[in-house]
Amino acid sequence: MKKPWSITTTLRNPERLRSFLIVLKQLEGYRWDLESQRKYQILLIKERVYGYGSRQFYNGLSQAQIDLIDDQARDISFEQATEIFNAKDYESPAMRGRQSINPLKKLGLVSIKDEKVFITSLGELFLKEDFDLGEIFFRSFIKWQLPNPSSSDYKLDDGYDIKPFIGVLHLIKKVNEESTRLGEKAKGISKEEFCLFGPTLINHSDIEDYANKIVELRNTLKNKTKIEQKAILNEYKKAFIKSFLGSANATDIKKFLKNLKDYGDNAIRYFRLTRYISIRGKGFYIDLEPRRAIEIDNLLQFDNAQSKDFSNKGEYAEYIANISEPKLPWETQEKLIEIVSKLLEEIRVYETKTRTVAREFLDYSGLGESDLKIYAEDLRKYRRELQDNENHQNSQDVDKIKEYIANLEDIFNSEDKPIALEKLSSLGLNALNDALKIQPNYPVGDDNEPTFTAPANVPDIECFYEDHNAICEVTMLTGRDQWYNEGQPVMRHLRDFEDKHSDKNSYCLFIAPSLHRDTLNTFWTAVKYEYEGQKQRIIPLSINNFVEILKILVQIKQSGRTLKHDKLFYLYDEILELSGTSMNSSEWTKNIPNIIASWQKSFNL
């Protein structure tokens, strides 16, 4: 039976791949035998990369073992991790390590050469502190193909012959071209269309046929009511999957539909990181990134998404891991000059929109390929600065602030809630006052929209003011896993930030839908007593608390006044002082709305 392609179901969070890779580095050069495979899984447990905070993983463990894993202040020894691993009583212990390494091998970050573990050049790039997530995944995805010698699941004889990422780019381009030809607006493909047609596109020769199917389906749904559209779409999906599977089994079709949704959502998440696709239509459409049009057009002319022939696993592993291969079709002086010229055009537009003094640029006409590539990346960084400046200027508009408020109040209906919360919190902080700089640390596409949440080793958002500094950490978690994932990391991020910017007092704003008691108790201790020997300034707010502050900001602006940052930090200090008069952490946070209400009265609104 045929099956759709998927990137990985083992690691849905791209950021976790790096943690898995860091742990595997300890086994580099070792023979990848049953003992090393078992050892890798034990090391993942030891470093709390695997199992930490997972209630399912905790099944079968003693309470003492669970407490040890939960307490990040305590190191887990290799012997203790081995006991935890053995307590799980896996039927095939070594298989766990093989499953954990598979995503790293698939993406070309790791290879098994001469039966030994090696981190590839692409993997070493990922291990650098200043790694570029987008570049790493782009370099991997332009070569990832089906079939390939590393997997026996997809065979040429069964119809598999595609590079999925390149195939998806071709599919979107074809749909846009056909839509334009028919006089319709080119808008990419919807997420629902992607989940159905993306993972089932298993042969490059079907790209045009799939594009036609999408356009035909749209025509069928046109001018129908939502109820009619839903019924038509459900029947279409069943018929399409029946044809793909060659089976009419209702159970198979239902399971296949669920898998397609999971595979499609995950593929969008990973492909978006490359910066070659953009999200539009309020998050419901996937399109080609217009700011990479030169690169995309040249890539699609160069590569029709057909798989390449490889004689063995080693040859394929060397190919997918080699960051210098293939040479990209736009990596010529002529094309790079065209790219730089386009970037400068965009920059001039942003400089005008943001009323930024026009920067003088060097004469790049005589630069070589290597220097042009570096210059293009420098220009992209400057463009992001201008885009951030534009966000800050737009955020001063009352209607924009009302838009942020509405989106925060509707956060649970967002397409990707964690990313939405980081973005809206950043925009809200921009709106609040006269910050010198609000710097979100999430990776962004060329449209300056976040492609994923901020990496685990840095604060979500860094805020710089004339008299104070702050970080902002946000999460959509509300259960005990909020404490698992945010308790120690938030305090550690704040301490690192305090040490780095010791010239001013540093605060931490923590925003979540609701605050778990264990998280509160952890912060309460750091605020009231100490963390690593010193008190910290942590302000825990619910999303509703943050929304109330933004609503007060709207009233202040509508009264013709501005909110200076010293007034905001006065509120923060009032909340911190409240901890000193409260009996416990629950009483502390329960009275925060009263502090906000009292702060509002101080403006005589």
What are the pLDDT digits (tens) for 109-143?
998 888 999 999 889 988 887 788 888 889 989 99
Same domain, 442 and 574: yes
Tell me whether residue 141 is in a domain. Answer: no
Domain co-membership, 411 together with 352: no
Looking at residue 11, what is its pLDDT?
A: 62
9 within domain boundaries: no
* Same domain? 564 vs 449: yes
pLDDT at 12: 66
Q: CB of 487 within 8 A of CB of 509?
A: no
pTM of the model as a whole: 0.86
Please indicate, yes or no, if residue 72 is contained in any of the structural domains: yes
Let me know if residue 316 belongs to a domain.
Answer: no
61 pLDDT higher than 70: yes
Cα–Cα nearest to 471, from 506, 515, 499: 506
Do 406 and 517 fall into the same domain?
Answer: yes
| 106 and 181 fall within a common domain | no
Rounded distance between C-alpha atoms, residue 32 and residue 116, angstroms = 5
Q: Which pLDDT score, from 0 to 100, does residue 576 have?
A: 92
CB atoms near residue 106 (< 10 Å): 19
User: Which of 112, 129, 146 is at the close of a domain?
Assistant: 129
Range of the domain at 29: 14-129
268 shares its domain with 351: no
Residue 246, pLDDT > 90, answer no
Strands across the sheet containing 277-280? 189-190, 285-288, 277-280
Final residue of a domain: which of 259, 288, 306? 306
Same domain as 464, residue 574: yes
H or E stretch covering 512: strand 505-512
pLDDT for the residue 398 = 95
Residue 345 lies in a domain: yes
Q: Does residue 25 lie within any of the structural domains?
A: yes
Query: 382 with 416, same domain?
Result: no
103 plus 181 within the same structural domain: no
Do 208 and 297 lie in one domain? The reply is yes
- Mean pLDDT, residues 365-372: 93
Do 528 and 578 sit in the same domain of this protein? yes
- Give 208's contacts (C-beta < 8 A, 6+ positions apart): 174
Residue 506, pLDDT score: 94
How many independent structural domains does the chain possess?
A: 4
Q: What is the CATH number of the domain that holds 289?
A: 1.10.10
282-295 pLDDT, tens digit each: 778 999 999 999 99
What is the secondary structure of 107-149 as a DSSP string?
Answer: TTSEEEETTEEEE-HHHHHHHSTT--HHHHHHHHHTT--BSBT
Residue 533: inside a domain: yes
Instruction: Please check whether residue 423 lies inside any domain of the structure.
Output: yes
pLDDT at position 336 = 95
Give per-residue pLDDT as tens, 222-232: 988 989 999 99
**CATH label of the domain that carries residue 434:** 3.40.91.50
Task: Determine the pLDDT at residue 103.
Answer: 87
Shared domain for 424 and 372, answered yes or no, is no
Distance CA 172, CA 535 (A): 53
Confidence of residue 195 (pLDDT cuts 50, 70, 90): very high
On the question of pLDDT at 8 being above 80, the answer is no
pLDDT of 1: 67
